[in-house]
Structure 1
Amino acid sequence: MTIVTEETTVDVVRKATRDLARSFDLEYWRQKDKKAEYPREFVKAFADGGWLGLIIPEEYGGLGLGMTEAAVMLYEISASGAANSGASAIHFSIFPPAPIINFGSEEMKKQWLPKIASGEILMCFGVTEPTAGVDTSRIRTMAKKVDGGWVVNGQKVWISNAQNADKILLLARTSPRDDANPLDGMTIFFTDLNRDHVTIREIEKCGRSALDSNELFIDDLPVRDDEVVGEVGKGFQYLIDGLNPERIVVAMEQIGIGRAAMDIAVQYAKDRVVFDRPIGKNQAVAHPLADSWIRLEAAERMAMHAATLFDTQQRCGKEAAAAKFLGAEAGFEACNRAMSTLGGYAYSKEYHVERLWRECRLQLNAPFSQEMVLNFVSHNVLKMPRSY
């Protein structure tokens, strides 16, 4: 008897985005990395397929799908060998628009969400600052109230996609920091990335070269009142609302990179003959790869569990944090073991492993370091004294 199962939305998303992502081969990404060139063709292909609007509600031109589908899509992009250069380019249509979707005015949603979904405009996310680090309460970018709007001055760092972005979702202080309530008094603005008032300097870096990272110097940037997202002073609360989705998709991206590296390493271990035998016959080669397979599987299950909790409107903070921790660790370790498997050839760009290794290392530090995950879990889950 043949059992017929109905294809789920997740299955459809997985197959379609896998096929689309893999239509851009490893050589495409090697050249983008080498030239530090934005993957316009790749982004356009996903825009043309409607995938940039995956989580944007249908009434605003999107697909209206959930975090589970988003996680699967970004996994497939990374696993294709696009790694963070491809995943991050699409990621900017999944995570940053969330405050607009959840807290923006109806006019803002109608005007901008369809353009984000279609790829007509590109955006960046301006939160981190050089003097604040992970303590967002200490950002110094200030928005001063004037007639009809605001004037913003300050500095941002590690702002991805600013070289190509039309708009910026910008976090700024609208009142001084209060030690009693340090996370109050910040506001999110969605405004033009006006080059007359914002100097953008690209940061040279070791990985994810196809997607730019930048310093922003903001000098008297004018912002209208209708460009405030939600209520003045509640920006950090709106930001927190999107952190769990970010951790989930980052976890899946790193798992995908780890799997891409594993595919290369396993095939190499089968084909490479030393001392008249495939090196894959040696347990010193096979066992680390087997261990990484297990860890990647476990990390994926935690990430998908967190995505399911989020989509069913259940609390998922500890699961999302754990998924990010496991995904970053398992993904990088898989890349590291792939480097060891290929030996000297791992340093050849022809095999692509060194690029995956470079790109995967970032997520051990950002956007939520492994140490901060452990701080969060020890304090909020285990109820131990706060250590940070």
Structure 2
Amino acid sequence: MEKYNVGYWNEMDSKEEFPQEFFKEFVGSGFGSILIPKEFGGAGLGTKEASLILREINRLGGNSYFVHGQYYNLALLNKCASQELKERIFPEMVRDNLLVLSLALTEPEAGSESTRITTFAEERGDRYVINGRKVFISRVDRTDFLVLVARTKPYNEERKTEGISMFLVDMRQLKGQVEMRRIRTMSNTDAYELYINNLEVTRKDLLGKENDGFKCLLRCLNAERIMIAAEMVGNTEYFLERAVDYSRERRVFGRPIGQNQGVQFPLAQAYMELMTSSTTLKQALDLYETSSDERSIGTFANIAKFKATEAAWYAGNVAMDVYGGLGYARDLGIERKVRETRLFLVAPISKNLILADIAHNVLKLPRSF
């Protein structure tokens, strides 16, 4: 990260480019395969170590958005890929630094109601033929493998999660079955809309069981939310460290601006938010690595993601205030990090859905939907 400093990430953002140089060195150094078990040549580490890496990238001014898909998708593969599939892809992933960066779940009409997806995998012998449309699928132009969520049974109002299946798609073998359209966004997200036309996969490409893939999907989404919480803790640390240093150095009316309570109090509150979100993140990570209760893991993953994102958003705006007009300048990096943080107030799960989840499933209040 000393080599890939704030100036590098600002340039990638300005040009809306994938950080290829950083990514090549990151993966080439072995960071891409840390979650792959040792028996296949990986480091055999866990979600906690992956989260620490993502947190540190963001704390030092980078944007771990470009690499986090590799980690939460590998967490999914460790849990739900068959032994045969692991033996087929894991050694190759380690040897050739292959990537599984993208999860294709979201659809234009379904949005946050994931069980309403309409992308359909029709069974034909030992194969499935998949047709559908996905939106806001990140890094799909850079990945070797795509985790694709589709229905293998039509939607049933009484059994909403039944009929969802997950597949691992080898993107290197495609010839026009997946069309991509770039979506320009507020920050540099490398996001795409996908049109899936008669894509063929085999039964061996299934992740988990046919029609019962929602359990595996939860495992992936919980890992994703926890890792994003770690990234947002990193962003909070970045904003706070920069703002505190500046408030000590910047002098107005003959004294440091950090001597003023109008500056001190927001920074102190940002620090308390950091401590709260860090503690919640640790609880979520501990539960993820020791429990098989996806319901409880999901609750803590949601809380960690909610609190960490709120903390980062607050700290980012405090930093903008502390820096004044300078914070608005692109070269500093503060405004870029604020834009990058804003995404996670609504994705991959919105604040209101997290609040509804706590109300319905923890407090046992009547369902609002």
TM-score normalised according to structure 2 size: 0.94
Matched residues in 2 for 1:158 and 1:195: separation? Answer: 21
Q: Which residue does 1:179 correspond to in 2?
A: 157
* TM-fit CA distance, 1:185: 0.6
> Are the counterparts in 2 of residues 47 and 119 from structure 1 also a CA contact under 8 Å?
no
Runs of 5+ consecutive residues of structure 2 not aligned to the other structure: none
* TM-fit CA distance, 1:383: 1.4
- For 1:223, the aligned partner's letter is V
Matched residues in 1 for 2:175 and 2:140: separation? Answer: 10
Q: Which residue does 1:365 correspond to in 2?
A: 346
The partner residue of 1:81 within 61, 66, 76 is 61
The size of the alignment, in residue pairs, is 363
> Are the counterparts in 1 of residues 226 and 284 from structure 2 also a CA contact under 8 Å?
yes
Matched residues in 2 for 1:133 and 1:182: separation? Answer: 15
**2:54 match: secondary structure:** helix
Q: Aligned ranges for residues 270-309 of structure 1 at < 5 Å?
A: 270-309=248-287
- For 2:88, the aligned partner's letter is Q
* TM-fit CA distance, 1:188: 0.7
> Are the counterparts in 2 of residues 48 and 118 from structure 1 also a CA contact under 8 Å?
no
Matched residues in 2 for 1:250 and 1:116: separation? Answer: 24
Q: Which residue does 2:299 correspond to in 1?
A: 318
Cα deviation digits, residues 148-190 of structure 1 (max 9, x gap): 3111111000100012122211001111111111111111111
Matched, 1:137 2:115: yes
Q: Aligned ranges for residues 162-201 of structure 1 at < 5 Å?
A: 162-193=140-171, 194-201=174-181
* TM-fit CA distance, 1:362: 0.8
**1:242 match: secondary structure:** helix
The partner residue of 2:213 within 217, 221, 235 is 235
Q: Which residue does 1:342 correspond to in 2?
A: 323
* TM-fit CA distance, 1:38: 1.1
Matched, 1:121 2:98: yes
Q: Aligned ranges for residues 42-53 of structure 1 at < 5 Å?
A: 42-53=22-33
Cα deviation digits, residues 172-215 of structure 1 (max 9, x gap): 111111111111111111112325111101100111x1x40010
Matched, 1:387 2:364: no
Matched residues in 1 for 2:220 and 2:148: separation? Answer: 14
Matched residues in 1 for 2:54 and 2:260: separation? Answer: 34
> Are the counterparts in 2 of residues 54 and 63 from structure 1 also a CA contact under 8 Å?
yes
- For 1:322, the aligned partner's letter is I
Q: Which residue does 1:108 correspond to in 2?
A: 85
- For 2:49, the aligned partner's letter is E
> Are the counterparts in 2 of residues 184 and 234 from structure 1 also a CA contact under 8 Å?
yes
* TM-fit CA distance, 1:50: 1.7
* TM-fit CA distance, 1:263: 1.8
- For 1:339, the aligned partner's letter is M
Q: Which residue does 2:355 correspond to in 1?
A: 374
- For 2:324, the aligned partner's letter is G
* TM-fit CA distance, 1:264: 1.8
Change in 2 beyond 3 A, CA 1:281/1:301: same
- For 2:14, the aligned partner's letter is K
**2:70 match: secondary structure:** coil
Matched residues in 1 for 2:304 and 2:123: separation? Answer: 40
Matched residues in 2 for 1:64 and 1:122: separation? Answer: 17
Matched residues in 1 for 2:95 and 2:359: separation? Answer: 42
Q: Which residue does 1:352 correspond to in 2?
A: 333
Runs of 5+ consecutive residues of structure 1 not aligned to the other structure: 1-20
Cα deviation digits, residues 67-103 of structure 1 (max 9, x gap): 22122111111111113xxx12221211012332212
Matched, 1:35 2:4: no
> Are the counterparts in 2 of residues 52 and 118 from structure 1 also a CA contact under 8 Å?
no
> Are the counterparts in 2 of residues 144 and 150 from structure 1 also a CA contact under 8 Å?
yes
Matched residues in 2 for 1:256 and 1:320: separation? Answer: 16
**2:45 match: secondary structure:** coil
**1:223 match: secondary structure:** strand
Matched residues in 2 for 1:165 and 1:309: separation? Answer: 29
Q: Which residue does 1:72 correspond to in 2?
A: 52
Identity %: 36
Change in 2 beyond 3 A, CA 1:62/1:381: same
- For 1:38, the aligned partner's letter is F
Change in 2 beyond 3 A, CA 1:119/1:44: farther
- What RMSD, in angstroms, separates the aligned Cα atoms of the two structures? 1.6
* TM-fit CA distance, 1:340: 1.0
Matched residues in 2 for 1:176 and 1:383: separation? Answer: 29
**1:340 match: secondary structure:** helix
